[in-house]
Amino acid sequence: MALKDVLAGALRDSETTGKEREIRLQRGLIISVQVTAAYTRLRLRRNDSKPSSSEWRTVLGSFPYPCAGVEPHEVVENGQIVLCASWPTPERLMDVRS
């Protein structure tokens, strides 16, 4: 399944439950998304290294709606560097994903 499809499913699940959803890719990248009425949050991490800016752009480019200009900031959690950002959730997210 394509990243865009997996990501869209995780976004839908998170929007329904309000809980963070995690996607573990085959090569070790871990993507976490959370959707609320107010914001959408994206977090990228790896167990063995820092996620790259290229990975960030690829994941952001796979969102089912435009996310131009969303830049990550780095945080350290449990010894891991996490790239994260949040932005206002589009009002018509369900229509955009259809």
pLDDT tens digits for range 29-75? 999 999 998 999 999 999 989 999 999 999 999 998 888 789 999 99
Q: How far is CA 65 from the centre of its chain?
A: 12
The model's pTM is: 0.88
Spatial separation of the C-alpha atoms in residues 62 and 71, rounded to whole Å: 15
CB 67 within 8 A of CB 4: no
Coil vs helix vs strand at 80: strand
The rounded distance, in Å, linking the Cα atoms of 24 and 67 is 21
Beta bridge partners, 53, equal none
Q: For domain 3-89, give the CATH number.
A: 2.60.40
